[in-house]
Chain A
Amino acid sequence: MTESAPQTLQRRAIALVSGGLDSMLAVKVMQEQGIHVEGVNFFTGFCVEGHTHAIRKKDKDKNKRNNALWVAEQLGIKLHIVDISEEYKDVVLNPKHGYGANLNPCLDCKIFMVNKATLMLNKARELAGEKGFDFIITGEVVGQRPKSQRKETMPIISRESGADDRLLRPLSAKNLPETLPEREGWVDRGQLHDFSGRNRKPQMALAKRFGLDDFAQPAGGCCFLTDESYSRKLADLWQARNERRYELDDIMLLKVGRHIRPAPHYKLIISREEGENRFLEGYRYQFTSITTSSCPGPLALIDGKLASDDELRQAAAIVARYSKGRTDDEVVVEVRDPGGVVRQLPVRPATPDQVSPEWMV
C-alpha cells in the first residue's frame, strides 16, 4: 500500500465453520490479512457436536462444549448457527453426486452449505450494503477427502453453489484458479497457501505458528454420516420402513443406546447408562417404553408396532437381559404406552443365546 492510499474499506468474509482445525486456520489466514470474518455453522441433525457428549454421562466432564462455538470464541468472530435440518433431508436422501464411503453425501453437502452461505451473503448485501459481506471462505484442502475435496470437485462446488469466484479456500488457494477477492486485491494471493493431500503436517505447522494447540480433529469428517455404524443404523431404518425418509427425532435416536431389531417391524432402543436414560425418557410420550420395576435396569423404547403379546414378552425379556436382574428367574417390567397407560409384566430375562447377534443394528 502506498502512503497516499485512501483509507480502504475493510472487506468482510463469511466463513463456514465446522469446529475443526481447517476452518479455524482458514479464518486465521484471513484475519492476518485484515479481513473481517464472521462464521456460519450449519446444523444438519447429524453433527457430532454438543448434545452427543451431553447425552452420555461418561463424557460429562470432557468436551461438553460445542466445537463451532468454541472455535468462534478462540478466533474472536461472531457465529451464526443455522438450522438446515429440514432442507438437508433432500441432500441426504437424494445426493446428485452420490455418497462417500458411508451414507455421507459430502459433495452435495458442501454445495448445499456454500449455496446457503451465498444466499446469506446476497441477503446481507441487500440489507446492509457495504456492511454486508464480500466473499465466502472454507477450510477445504485439495485432495484431503476422497469424495468432496478433490481438485476436480472444488470448481464443482464453486459453480453449483452459485458462489463462483466469491468462494475462496485460503489453505489451498494457490492450487486453484484466482478468485474475486484475490483479483480485486482484497487479499494477497502470495500469502495464501498451497496445501494439498491428506498429509496434515502443513496444517499442524500453521496451527503452531498461530499458537493454536487445542482443537477438535474429527477423524472421518464433520458428521455422523461418515460413521460406519451410524450409517448402518440409518440404512436399517429405511429398510425397515420400506422407504427412505427420516424425521429429526429418528436421526437423534440413532446416536443413542443399543439398537436391537428382533423382527423387521420393530426395534428396541435400550439405554446404556444414565445420561441416555434421561435422554430416552423425553421420548416416552411418542413411543411405547419398557423399564424394569423389580430391579434397576435400562429404559427401552419400542420403535415400530408389536404384532402380539408374545412379541411384547420377547421384547420385555430382552430388556430384562440388560437389567441388574439378568440372572434372576423373573423380572417385573413396566410397559408404558405413549398415553401413559402402564402395565406390569413378569418375564424371564432372555439368555445370551436368545438374543441373536444378527439383531444388533
Chain B
Amino acid sequence: MLRYRRPAPGTQPELLHPPYVSSIKRAPTQPLIQLPHTLSETTGPSFSKEVVPPKGFDLTRQHKGEPLGERIVVSGRLVDEDGRPVAHSLVEIWQANAAGRYLHKVDQHDAPLDPNFTGMGQTLTDEEGRYRFVTIRPGAYPWRNHYNAWRPRHIHFSVFGPAFATRLVTQMYFPGDPLLEFDPIYNSVPVESARKRLISIFDWATTTPEIALGFRFDIVLRGRNATPMER
C-alpha cells in the first residue's frame, strides 16, 4: 500500500497561531500523534454526478435576478504533488457577496445582503482535474480579531481528493490585495512561498470577453510515496 507524504516543514499553518485569536482556546495543546496510513486513511468518499447539482458551478444563476458586483470566473486544476490530475473530485466553495456580507445569521456586518446571491457552489473536477466556477468577486469584510481588522477578499474552498488523508479546506485570495500582509489567517502559513500559493492568478485564458475577468487557482493535494508502508 502507498502512503501519503507528510507536508514539508512550514508549508502548513500551525494549529496554535496566537495572532489569530480564535486559535488560542481551540488549538489542541498536546502533541499530535502520527497516524500510520491504513485503508482507513487511504480511502475516502467519492461523490457521483447525481449528488452534485448540475448548475452548482454558477453562483450567478441561483436566483431570479443577477447578483450585484463584478462577475468573475474562477477556475483551475486539482492535482497531486506529482502533477497527476485528481479527476471526478468534489469541490465546494462559499463566500461573501460583493458588499462583504455572508448570507448567515451570525454575520452582523452592516452591509447589504443581495437577494440574488447565496454564495455557495459545488462541482466535480473533470478527467483532467479541472474545475470552473462563475461567481462575483467577494468584498472584504471586518472581523473582531483585533482593532480595525479586515479580511482580505477570499473564497472558501473545500476539496476531498481520493482519500481521507487528502481532505483539504482552504481559502483562495486575489492578487494585489493590500490586506493580505495584515491578515493573521493568511499569514499563519510560515513559509512565504507556500502561502503565496493561496493567491489566485489573473488569467487571460479564462477571462471571457465582455463577460468576466478570470482567475486561476490550482489546488495541490498530497502526493504518495513509492516506498513501502512504515511498519
Are A and B a genuine interacting pair, yes or no? Answer: no
Q: Which residues of B contact A (CB under 8 A)?
A: none
